[in-house]
Amino acid sequence: DAGVIQSPRHEVTEMGQEVTLRCKPISGHDYLFWYRQTMMRGLELLIYFNNNVPIDDSGMPEDRFSAKMPNASFSTLKIQPSEPRDSAVYFCASRDRAEAFFGQGTRLTVV
């Protein structure tokens, strides 16, 4: 398996624009997580899914953030409208029973 795949790797966008981050989990993993990493707050859990169903979205900072998992092999994290304070590295991870693997992340810069 190629591991967790995220796209794009880098995204630069203007404030107010919509941003969509994409993730393909490892086949067979039934948990998918979205994390955000910043220097100030470290790794923060935004939302996670089990069998495509959102289980805990309490980490989603505002209504501007939304996430979907339409099937077992694809998830999106959308920010609309984006703001400069959303600039961070966004990681997707998937997990089987014990092992949790991360993608390479999307570095988002909102100017």
Partner 1 sequence: GEDVEQSLFLSVREGDSSVINCTYTDSSSTYLYWYKQEPGAGLQLLTYIFSNMDMKQDQRLTVLLNKKDKHLSLRIADTQTGDSAIYFCAEGDTGRRALTFGSGTRLQVQP
Contact residues for partner 1 (CB under 8 A)?
30-31, 33, 42-43, 45, 48, 50, 55-56, 91, 93, 95, 97-105
Q: At its nearest, how many Å lie between partner 1 and the CB of residue 77?
A: 15
Q: At its nearest, how many Å lie between partner 1 and the CB of residue 44?
A: 9
Strand partners, 78: 20, 66
Q: At its nearest, how many Å lie between partner 1 and the CB of residue 52?
A: 15
Q: Where on the phi/psi map is residue 105: left (φ > 0), alpha (ψ -120 to 50), or beta?
A: left
Q: At its nearest, how many Å lie between partner 1 and the CB of residue 78?
A: 20
Nearer to partner 1, 31 or 74 (CB): 31
Cα–Cα distance for residue pair 50/54, rounded to 1 Å: 7
In this structure, the chain runs to a length of 111
DSSP 10-77: EEEE-TT--EEEEEEPPTT--EEEEEEEETTTEEEEEEEEETTEEEE-TT--STTEEEEEEETTEEEE
